[in-house]
A and B are shown apart, each in its own frame.
Chain A
């Protein structure tokens, strides 16, 4: 077994994948296996009893949004009684930030990998404040979701129909040269996204007020592009999954309780351990006491070679990794130690346009004791409070050790 060759194959597939944003549709119409009483969530599989506050809140919100429950109590009752099915987004070619909850009616982005043909999906970003992804489910939250489903989604779908698809890999490559790292900072990427969409929206909009509202919403939200970016990363990572003998990571995801990981050559097994509390800076009035354990599918960005791995490209947010621009460079340099390749398309100006560290090799993680660096938002542990900070987290190192042992068993080493 030539592990290096297998990893090379996997990482080349990941880098060759070209995810194009081609359209939007309600989840039930496009996501494989989507059902009316199925709620998709971030991270590895988890049952209602073990779900953390923000994920529970988001589940309640989704049931209210779908009209399956009439209030919080009945929603929780349904979940407890097993009347709702849960599955990871990852089991349905999808990803979602934070709670990552996707229900059947929600509009989702469709990303198509034009190189290998696989698709990936993500929900729409709600912006800041009280939002479902942090477990909020008040009427105000549901109203926004309805507006997104009724106005934003359809307009974007029509706009995208005019295009041949937006090349999200190219957008990311450009955003990395504009100070983004693609996970915690998507300021530049979101503006590029707005730039690409604006003329298309102008062509299809029939109502000026709605058009203005949509453009304003996209432009105000520095995370607008995060969800298509995550789905793009998912499409890239899926293209690299299932390479016989490969020790390369193809998914990292958290559900707010457990941190889970999948490896290209180890089938669809999840390797999991309790998620940790991120270290970082907190918004006014909050401390690490308020923080929920790590949550969200957004670690798909690090899996694909951006996010914390491209920290050197984003000196504006160095404070999250403790301070100086040199620390940002060091963060990326450290990730070269545990990765298979340098990205062909994502490059970092301050490192003389070196490709980002891409394709985590579980062997290197275990051998060197260096776990991946993940840039992340921090959720409040109570549902509905929202984001309380941002910072750095690392996956528990046990999951890499588990995966290594599983590899030895599977391949009879």
Chain B
């Protein structure tokens, strides 16, 4: 074993640099130990204690003393020869960015973040989402296995705070051109989507892109959003936002078939959006091709094509019938079952349940109407011992008087079918009854007039008589139904602050790191939270922490 040393006069280095140099020297081949110090008395004594002080050494406090103890002279000299290189070696360690462990810190690091993406294990997801909402952030919750109760509570809280709560189990979204979670690369454009189906959204957005149009926003809601207890909370909010988003011209609503009450609630919001809405409820029979601004698609591809076709199209403003004070219900008095069924389906889809004698919910007694009611007066129960209402107007007129006497009734919907075999001049009998209903009860009367210009009754004359009596006359069921819906679906569009949708995306990611990488690759500002289960997963401590929060 041999000891070599070197003294560099007047060479000051910080002690930390010296300690690192010493460690590097000691790590070289065949080097047993090394000492690198400034030559103060205390330091030299330290070297002596460790048998590292060469004899007859002369060093001043400002001198750098380097001592190497090695197996061979060559190894010692080689080590001393590397001192300069070791001293000047720049550490190539890339400065690693700070990774916060809490949402709170991440929010402080990126205060402009509007969004929090959450993909932690389900049992922790609701807690993280709650924290994000309380920090005033919109949430994209990818995690599944979140309880229905938690979902309802989170969405209610989001509503109170005017925030989006996408998910749980929300796989995809596109906001301001940035894809969250799973999303295709699509150009920005004028079509906005709201969907409870991740793959459905991906399919429609991809097709729209391939057809040359683009996407303004695609908002996921989570797969259970349109179920009864969640009641489309997020889909409604998404619709309101897109209705208020200046970048969105056409809206597509995609879902598996929702609960009927949820459908009505959602479509009423869609009704007042003031923009064309393509409704694609997979597996749900469309009640019409179009009702007002609602366009019903039977398939995803049809939804994409319809949406692309509607870009740039004008939305016809529907007149909103004014109902008498206290009026809340429609009564439909039809002479034929099929028109009755079609009208019922359309009205019921948007406004809500309609009682009838043709489908559920049924009137217990068809002679007495209830709430919204629609009757096929050609049914046996009404025609026993009398002529069919297409020939004999008496029954319909009596029932009309009965209905308008109910102060809760605001609108009467009738069909009048002309042609061979029918009453020779139905308007001559119905118009006076309509005029009476209008004059005495201020009830709105809407007529679907079916016939041709060659029919014996004279289509145009019939129309004129009816209109003079105060009826609003349509040739198409869907137009008449749309008019009726307008009377009951309300007209107030909910204003929603949608500005944040057009801001450059800044997001906090909690969970899957690939979502963070993807945000960064798309050019969004993002901070990744190095998330771990609270209290290392210790349930007793978690329970205490939870109690301390409330």
**Are these two chains actual partners, yes or no?**
yes
User: Which A residues contact B (CB, under 8 angstroms)?
Assistant: 3, 128-129, 247, 281-286, 316-320, 323-327, 329-330, 333-334, 336-337, 363-364, 366-370, 389, 401, 404-405, 407-408, 413
Chain A residues in 8 Å Cβ range of B46? 283-285
Determine if B49 and A285 form an interchain contact, defined as CB atoms under 8 angstroms apart: yes
How close is B323's CB to chain A, nearest CB, in angstroms?
52
Determine if A404 and B105 form an interchain contact, defined as CB atoms under 8 angstroms apart: no
Chain A residues in 8 Å Cβ range of B96? 326-327, 330
Which of B34-42, B314-322, B489-497 is the contact stretch?
A: B34-42
Taking a contact as CB atoms closer than 8 A, the residue among A128, A284, A285, A401 that contacts B541 in the complex is A401
Chain A residues in 8 Å Cβ range of B50? 284-286
Chain A residues in 8 Å Cβ range of B23? 281-282
Which of B12-20, B343-351, B363-371 is the contact stretch?
A: B12-20
Determine if B16 and A333 form an interchain contact, defined as CB atoms under 8 angstroms apart: no
Determine if B52 and A319 form an interchain contact, defined as CB atoms under 8 angstroms apart: no
Which of B276-284, B426-434, B542-550 is the contact stretch?
A: B542-550
Chain A residues in 8 Å Cβ range of B22? 284
Determine if A3 and B98 form an interchain contact, defined as CB atoms under 8 angstroms apart: no
Determine if A3 and B548 form an interchain contact, defined as CB atoms under 8 angstroms apart: yes
Taking a contact as CB atoms closer than 8 A, the residue among A316, A336, A368, A408 that contacts B532 in the complex is A368
Determine if B547 and A370 form an interchain contact, defined as CB atoms under 8 angstroms apart: no
User: Which B residues contact A (CB, under 8 angstroms)?
Assistant: 14, 16-17, 19-20, 22-23, 33-37, 42, 45-47, 49-52, 67, 91, 93, 95-98, 100-102, 104-105, 108-109, 532, 534-536, 538, 540-541, 544-545, 547-548
Determine if B100 and A337 form an interchain contact, defined as CB atoms under 8 angstroms apart: yes
Chain B residues in 8 Å Cβ range of A284? 22, 33-37, 46-47, 50, 52, 67
A336 and B106 alpha carbons, distance in the complex (Å): 11
A413 and B102 alpha carbons, distance in the complex (Å): 24
Given contacts A324-B91, A333-B105, A369-B536, contact A413 B16 (CB under 8 A): no
Determine if A247 and B19 form an interchain contact, defined as CB atoms under 8 angstroms apart: no
A407 and B538 alpha carbons, distance in the complex (Å): 17
Chain B residues in 8 Å Cβ range of A325? 95
Determine if B19 and A363 form an interchain contact, defined as CB atoms under 8 angstroms apart: no
Determine if A334 and B98 form an interchain contact, defined as CB atoms under 8 angstroms apart: yes
Determine if A326 and B545 form an interchain contact, defined as CB atoms under 8 angstroms apart: no
A325 and B97 alpha carbons, distance in the complex (Å): 11
Chain B residues in 8 Å Cβ range of A3? 548
Determine if A285 and B20 form an interchain contact, defined as CB atoms under 8 angstroms apart: no
Determine if B19 and A283 form an interchain contact, defined as CB atoms under 8 angstroms apart: yes
Determine if A319 and B20 form an interchain contact, defined as CB atoms under 8 angstroms apart: yes
Taking a contact as CB atoms closer than 8 A, the residue among B14, B105, B547 that contacts A316 in the complex is B14
A281 and B37 alpha carbons, distance in the complex (Å): 13
A374 and B93 alpha carbons, distance in the complex (Å): 23
Given contacts A285-B35, A337-B101, contact A366 B20 (CB under 8 A): no
Chain A residue nearest in CB terms to B49: A285
Q: 19 A-B Cβ contacts within 8 A? A: A282-B23, A283-B46, A284-B37, A285-B46, A285-B47, A316-B14, A320-B16, A326-B96, A327-B96, A333-B98, A334-B98, A367-B102, A368-B101, A368-B102, A369-B535, A401-B535, A401-B541, A405-B541, A408-B544
Chain A residues in 8 Å Cβ range of B109? 333
A316 and B17 alpha carbons, distance in the complex (Å): 9
Determine if B532 and A330 form an interchain contact, defined as CB atoms under 8 angstroms apart: no
Task: Find the residue from B34, B51, B93, B101 having the highest chain A CB count within 10 A.
Answer: B101
Chain A residue nearest in CB terms to B14: A316
How close is A120's CB to chain B, nearest CB, in angstroms?
30
A318 and B17 alpha carbons, distance in the complex (Å): 10
Chain B residue nearest in CB terms to A318: B16
A340 and B148 alpha carbons, distance in the complex (Å): 34
Chain A residues in 8 Å Cβ range of B95? 324-327
Determine if B108 and A281 form an interchain contact, defined as CB atoms under 8 angstroms apart: no
Determine if B101 and A404 form an interchain contact, defined as CB atoms under 8 angstroms apart: no
A334 and B105 alpha carbons, distance in the complex (Å): 9
Determine if B19 and A281 form an interchain contact, defined as CB atoms under 8 angstroms apart: yes
Determine if A405 and B544 form an interchain contact, defined as CB atoms under 8 angstroms apart: yes
Q: Known contacts A333-B100, A333-B109; can you find 6 more A-B pairs with CB under 8 A?
A: A284-B52, A337-B105, A367-B534, A367-B545, A368-B101, A401-B535
Given contacts A284-B36, A330-B98, contact A317 B16 (CB under 8 A): yes
A407 and B52 alpha carbons, distance in the complex (Å): 53
A316 and B548 alpha carbons, distance in the complex (Å): 40
A157 and B105 alpha carbons, distance in the complex (Å): 45
Determine if B20 and A324 form an interchain contact, defined as CB atoms under 8 angstroms apart: no
Chain A residues in 8 Å Cβ range of B52? 284-285
Determine if A363 and B548 form an interchain contact, defined as CB atoms under 8 angstroms apart: yes
A329 and B544 alpha carbons, distance in the complex (Å): 32
Determine if B35 and A363 form an interchain contact, defined as CB atoms under 8 angstroms apart: no
Chain A residue nearest in CB terms to B550: A413
Chain B residue nearest in CB terms to A280: B19
Chain A residue nearest in CB terms to B545: A367
How close is B437's CB to chain A, nearest CB, in angstroms?
64
A325 and B96 alpha carbons, distance in the complex (Å): 10
Chain A residue nearest in CB terms to B45: A129
Chain B residues in 8 Å Cβ range of A327? 95-96
Task: Find the residue from B102, B544, B547, B548 having the highest chain A CB count within 10 A.
Answer: B548
Given contacts A326-B95, A337-B100, contact A129 B42 (CB under 8 A): yes
Chain B residues in 8 Å Cβ range of A318? 16
Chain B residues in 8 Å Cβ range of A404? 541, 544-545
How close is B450's CB to chain A, nearest CB, in angstroms?
70
Chain A residues in 8 Å Cβ range of B105? 333, 336-337
Chain A residues in 8 Å Cβ range of B545? 363, 366-367, 404
Given contacts A285-B46, A326-B95, A404-B545, contact A366 B535 (CB under 8 A): yes
A334 and B545 alpha carbons, distance in the complex (Å): 20
**9 nearest CB pairs, A to B:** A285-B50, A326-B95, A284-B35, A281-B19, A319-B16, A413-B547, A333-B98, A129-B42, A330-B98
Chain B residue nearest in CB terms to A411: B548
Determine if B101 and A281 form an interchain contact, defined as CB atoms under 8 angstroms apart: no
Chain B residues in 8 Å Cβ range of A128? 42
Determine if A319 and B548 form an interchain contact, defined as CB atoms under 8 angstroms apart: no
How close is B542's CB to chain A, nearest CB, in angstroms?
8
A63 and B97 alpha carbons, distance in the complex (Å): 51
Determine if A337 and B548 form an interchain contact, defined as CB atoms under 8 angstroms apart: no
Determine if B91 and A413 form an interchain contact, defined as CB atoms under 8 angstroms apart: no
How close is B299's CB to chain A, nearest CB, in angstroms?
49
A346 and B65 alpha carbons, distance in the complex (Å): 38
How close is B380's CB to chain A, nearest CB, in angstroms?
71
Determine if B91 and A367 form an interchain contact, defined as CB atoms under 8 angstroms apart: no
A363 and B108 alpha carbons, distance in the complex (Å): 19
Determine if A337 and B36 form an interchain contact, defined as CB atoms under 8 angstroms apart: no
Task: Find the residue from A129, A363, A368 having the highest chain B CB count within 10 A.
Answer: A368
Chain B residues in 8 Å Cβ range of A401? 535, 538, 541
Chain B residues in 8 Å Cβ range of A337? 100-102, 104-105
Given contacts A284-B46, A285-B46, contact A369 B91 (CB under 8 A): no
Chain A residues in 8 Å Cβ range of B19? 281-283, 319, 389
Chain B residues in 8 Å Cβ range of A324? 91, 93, 95
Chain A residues in 8 Å Cβ range of B42? 128-129
How close is A355's CB to chain B, nearest CB, in angstroms?
12
Chain B residue nearest in CB terms to A324: B95
Chain B residues in 8 Å Cβ range of A323? 91, 93
Task: Find the residue from B19, B20, B33, B93 having the highest chain A CB count within 10 A.
Answer: B19
How close is A343's CB to chain B, nearest CB, in angstroms?
15
Chain B residue nearest in CB terms to A3: B548
Chain A residues in 8 Å Cβ range of B37? 284
Chain B residues in 8 Å Cβ range of A408? 544, 547-548
How close is A274's CB to chain B, nearest CB, in angstroms?
19
Chain A residues in 8 Å Cβ range of B108? 336
A172 and B23 alpha carbons, distance in the complex (Å): 32
Chain A residues in 8 Å Cβ range of B33? 284-285
How close is A411's CB to chain B, nearest CB, in angstroms?
9
How close is B378's CB to chain A, nearest CB, in angstroms?
70
Chain B residues in 8 Å Cβ range of A247? 548
Chain B residues in 8 Å Cβ range of A367? 102, 534-535, 545
A336 and B16 alpha carbons, distance in the complex (Å): 26
